[in-house]
A and B are shown apart, each in its own frame.
Chain A
């Protein structure tokens, strides 16, 4: 039976994953607009305004994503490889789709469920990373 503190952590974990998915989507959408709309407008049509506007907007969205990634990774205790993967895909146009799929899988696998409920899972029964009980 879960304690109140564990339930709070479960709820915080779900919220955390929603945040990073939203931040990833925001970063991905602004990158696509910047690369596929604003930059071509600047170089092909000589319209600077689009990239001058989208550049700072994407910069802010990127910083929000980096902050949320560090926040989430620290919360869950993710591996360096997982963090690097989510970081590198942020530089790839449409990489947010791959990140969203990966985060969805992570959520569906329930890895975060036991991770945030670490209070009730003894360390020797987990993989010491996500807190997933060993088979």
Chain B
């Protein structure tokens, strides 16, 4: 596939992934904290976000990886330092998305809330990561 087409698909899927992560981080922050008792009250909005995450955000993330790796291979970028910094950030961002998805899937008050407390900062971390990734990919400072 032509490089510019790959780039267009990569940018699009990445934008959809980041947008979905911001919605997800808001949804997770609205979930009840550790309660240890009783299932969470059903919420149509949370259900809709969960479905969106499953059918749109997660596939977009997977496609962003695939298009990104294809771009790096086609453009012979694997020797560039900026790409490796970007890959580390993308790996962390993927882990953050996984953690948010897992927390949303669980729904009910998790008994051990402390390991997930960092999820409070998921929104700002996502925005900051997006900014750094955009600078690395567009300006290629290193």
Contacts and interface: CB of A to CB of B under 8 A. Distances in A.
Interface string A1-19: 0010110010010001000
Interface class of chain B by DSSP? helix
B10 interface: no
A93 interface: no
Given A118-B36, A122-B37, A73 B99 contact: yes
B37 A74 contact: no
Contact of A60 (B66, B105, B111, B113): B66
Interface string A62-99: 01101111111111011110000000000000000000
B110 interface: yes
Number of chain A interface residues as a range = 35 or more
B91 A66 contact: yes
B12 interface: no
B97 A67 contact: yes
Contacts of A130: 112
Contact of B116 (A56, A77, A118, A123): A77
A128 interface: yes
Given A56-B73, A71-B98, A63 B106 contact: no
B65 interface: yes
B102 interface: yes
Given A118-B36, A121-B111, A128-B112, A75 B69 contact: no
Interface of B: 34, 36-39, 61-62, 65-66, 69-70, 73, 90-91, 94-103, 105-106, 108-113, 115-116, 119
Given A16-B102, A74-B100, A118-B111, 9 more contacts: A5-B108, A63-B94, A73-B99, A74-B99, A77-B111, A118-B108, A119-B36, A119-B108, A123-B111
Interface of A: 3, 5-6, 9, 12, 16, 52, 56, 59-60, 63-64, 66-75, 77-80, 115-116, 118-119, 121-123, 126, 128-131
